[in-house]
């Protein structure tokens, strides 16, 4: 048999575009050896072990959500917000406890059996979307069993990863320096692993079925994520053809990289500031590498979420200073604590809320727990000497809320003055516009702030009255919905009239399709994950400001989200990338 006879193809689903050439490495499933049955008298202890693992899983997912938001985007990170809800879902917990109480199951066996039962129920439904949620519940089960067994979450592979199914947390944990692509037997285009692969830029083919079993470790493969095809042991001329295609893709990437440190200016010289969203001081290296001009959103929750007590003022000062000092002459926008809702603080009690997204969260929580809030404000002011600090209050809905927050900031400043502790007295103060109420009175709020930053993720949710985690209303969760676009326009107009700058730190800011619209509406700062910076900058450098204003006026008159997207896609055709 000649070499040409040895090549064969696998057809699957094109889950994530791109081409990878490499050798197969099969994922090694963790094998946990645990006792499945325990004596009935041990049921209370097994329940306690389950509850402890549940809490540990929530913390892991909190961190994974934050990290994924930074590396892949807010929207992609929401899968782990959903996982947090699933870990504590009463119906899941009830099944676990039932296995412990009535089947003398160990905590590990109870979790595994409960996850398998619920996953099988999802897999049996008609909806493709619901079928793919089976992977999420399996992911939850694996995480809990691993924690119960004292295992770590590290995943280390080199090559093209082949797996029966790649769970969302597996995908988020892949080291892209070593994994060039992946192939799975199961999964679909809308599975969370596929969504995460696209966000991370990993070529992926999923749903190849039993063909996966024919792949051996060390097989040479081409993963064509554009068409959903895997070429196994390819001939040399085909390899050369794909190498040429990869070269062209790399040239495109190089083109984008080449604009990384060029000015973010339109053809007619208007500067649009591009910044990054970050979650920890350690993210500053990526900000600089991306060619960003600062930080448009530093989420401070990382300091609070995995703590059992309030982080000290000194601890906070050091973290804020580390970010400011990394780019001392650039604008650094630090958002005050945005906890509550789906981000509960272990050291703050309180009763469960029927609708936490509309409850005690962000600035509302901070104004209840003023001692926690004032400690953060003192830390921010003390850190201000290290750079160009901008303080941003989240979830402001009324003028009274804003004035109360500013009053507490002034109180913190007065204390520092009395104590002789240095700080900058001219720190800029702004708000995150993410509630329609704030957008509606933006002209009034503009009198009290130095800047606005629009958070589109929550602005869409609250404007459209659509839970962004509810797949049944997913069609409403679209930042191109006309009411959302009009609110963005209103905020930009109010800021311009008051002579204040207006930016955006939501998912929409990193979407190059939206860039001509946002520039045309008058936004002057866009903050996103680092991967999006070169693409958006390249788009900005091809724009003419007057033309974008005409496009924006035209788009504001359109009636549906699909009309707006279609118009923006027509506009995008004239750009190089």
Question: For every one of its 577 residues, what pLDDT tens digit does the chain have, with 9 covering 90 and above?
Answer: 334 458 899 999 888 889 999 999 998 776 777 888 899 899 999 999 999 999 989 888 888 887 777 667 666 777 888 888 889 888 899 999 999 999 999 999 999 999 999 988 887 776 666 666 787 888 899 889 989 988 766 667 889 999 988 777 777 777 777 889 999 998 776 666 777 787 777 899 998 999 999 999 999 999 999 899 999 999 999 999 999 999 988 888 888 878 877 899 999 999 999 999 988 888 898 898 888 999 999 999 878 876 778 899 999 999 999 999 999 999 999 999 998 876 677 677 656 677 878 888 899 999 999 999 999 999 999 999 999 999 999 999 999 999 999 999 999 999 999 999 999 999 999 999 999 999 999 999 999 999 999 999 889 999 999 876 665 777 888 899 999 999 999 999 999 999 999 999 978 999 999 999 999 999 999 999 887 899 899 999 999 999 999 999 999 999 999 999 999 999 999 886 6
pLDDT score for 3: 41
HSE-CB at 401 with a 13 A cutoff on CA atoms is 23
Structure tokens belonging to residue 68: 């994924």
pLDDT score for 10: 95
pLDDT score for 74: 67
Contact at 8 Å (CB) between 547 and 560?
Answer: no
pTM of the model: 0.70
- 192 is an active site residue: yes
For tokens 């850190």, what's the residue?
383
Contact at 8 Å (CB) between 460 and 468?
Answer: yes
Which of the residues 83, 99, 192, 538 is marked catalytic?
A: 192
Task: Give the H or E element holding residue 16.
Answer: strand 13-16
Coil/strand/helix, residue 222: strand
User: 450 Cβ partners below 8 Å, 6+ apart?
Assistant: 390, 428, 429, 430, 500, 501
pLDDT score for 283: 84
pLDDT score for 4: 43
Which of the residues 83, 99, 390, 505 is marked catalytic?
A: 505
Q: Which of the 8 DSSP states describes residue 271?
A: B
Structure tokens belonging to residue 307: 């703590």
The closest of 328, 329, 349 to 339, measured between CA atoms, is: 349
278 forms beta bridges with 298
- 366 is an active site residue: no
User: 482 Cβ partners below 8 Å, 6+ apart?
Assistant: 558, 559, 560, 561, 564
Tell me the longest C-alpha to C-alpha distance in the chain.
Answer: 87
């Amino acid at each position: 048999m000649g070499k040409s006879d040895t090549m064969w193809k696998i057809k699957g689903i094109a889950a994530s575009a791109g081409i990878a050439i490499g050798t197969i490495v099969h994922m090694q499933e963790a094998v946990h050896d645990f006792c499945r049955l325990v004596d009935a008298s041990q049921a209370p202890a097994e329940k306690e072990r389950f509850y402890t693992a549940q809490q540990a899983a929530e913390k892991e997912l909190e961190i994974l959500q934050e990290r994924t938001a930074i590396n892949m985007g807010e929207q992609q990170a929401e899968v782990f917000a959903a996982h947090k809800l699933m870990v504590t879902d009463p119906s899941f917990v009830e099944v676990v406890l039932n296995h412990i109480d009535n089947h003398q199951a160990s905590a590990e066996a109870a979790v595994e059996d409960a996850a398998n039962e619920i996953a099988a129920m999802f897999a049996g439904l008609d909806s493709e979307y619901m079928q793919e949620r089976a992977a999420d519940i399996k992911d939850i089960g694996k995480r809990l069993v691993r924690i119960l067994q004292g295992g770590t979450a590290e995943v280390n592979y080199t090559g093209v990863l082949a797996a029966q199914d790649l769970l969302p947390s597996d995908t988020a944990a892949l080291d892209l320096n070593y994994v060039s692509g992946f192939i799975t037997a199961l999964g679909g285009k809308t599975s969370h692993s596929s969504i995460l692969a696209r966000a991370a830029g990993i070529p992926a083919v999923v749903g190849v079925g039993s063909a996966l079993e024919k792949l051996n470790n060390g097989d040479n493969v081409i993963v064509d994520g554009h068409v959903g095809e895997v070429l196994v042991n390819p001939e040399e001329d085909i390899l050369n053809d794909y190498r040429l295609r990869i070269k062209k893709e790399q040239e495109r990437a190089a083109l984008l990289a080449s604009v990384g440190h060029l000015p973010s200016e339109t053809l007619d010289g208007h500067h649009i500031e591009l910044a990054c969203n970050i979650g920890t001081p350690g993210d500053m290296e990526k900000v600089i590498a991306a060619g960003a001009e600062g930080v448009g959103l530093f989420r401070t929750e990382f300091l609070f979420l995995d703590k059992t007590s309030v982080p000290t003022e000194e601890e906070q000062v050091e973290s804020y200073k580390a970010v400011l000092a990394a780019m001392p002459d650039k604008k650094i926008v630090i958002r005050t604590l945005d906890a509550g809702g789906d981000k509960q603080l272990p050291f703050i009690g309180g009763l469960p809320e029927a609708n936490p997204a509309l409850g005690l969260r962000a600035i509302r929580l901070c104004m209840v727990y003023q001692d926690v809030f004032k400690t953060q404000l003192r830390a921010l002011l003390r850190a201000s000497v290290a750079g160009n600090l901008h303080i941003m209050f989240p979830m402001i809905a009324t003028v009274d809320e804003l004035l109360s927050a500013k009053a507490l900031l002034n109180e913190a400043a007065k204390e520092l003055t009395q104590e002789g502790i240095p700080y900058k007295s001219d720190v800029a103060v702004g708000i995150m516009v993410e509630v329609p109420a704030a957008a509606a009175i933006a002209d009034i709020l503009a009198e009290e702030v130095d800047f606005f930053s629009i958070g589109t993720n929550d602005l869409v949710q609250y404007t459209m009255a659509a839970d962004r985690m509810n797949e049944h209303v997913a069609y409403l969760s679209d930042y191109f919905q006309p009411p959302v676009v009009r609110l963005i326009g209103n905020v930009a107009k109010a800021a311009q009239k008051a002579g204040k700058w207006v930016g955006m730190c939501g998912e929409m800011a990193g979407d190059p399709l939206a860039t001509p619209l946002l520039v045309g509406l008058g936004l002057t700062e866009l903050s996103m994950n680092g991967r999006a910076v070169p693409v958006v900058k390249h788009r900005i450098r091809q724009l003419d400001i007057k033309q974008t204003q005409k496009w924006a006026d035209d788009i504001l008159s359109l009636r549906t989200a699909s009309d707006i997207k279609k118009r923006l896609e027509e506009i995008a055709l004239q750009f190089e990338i």
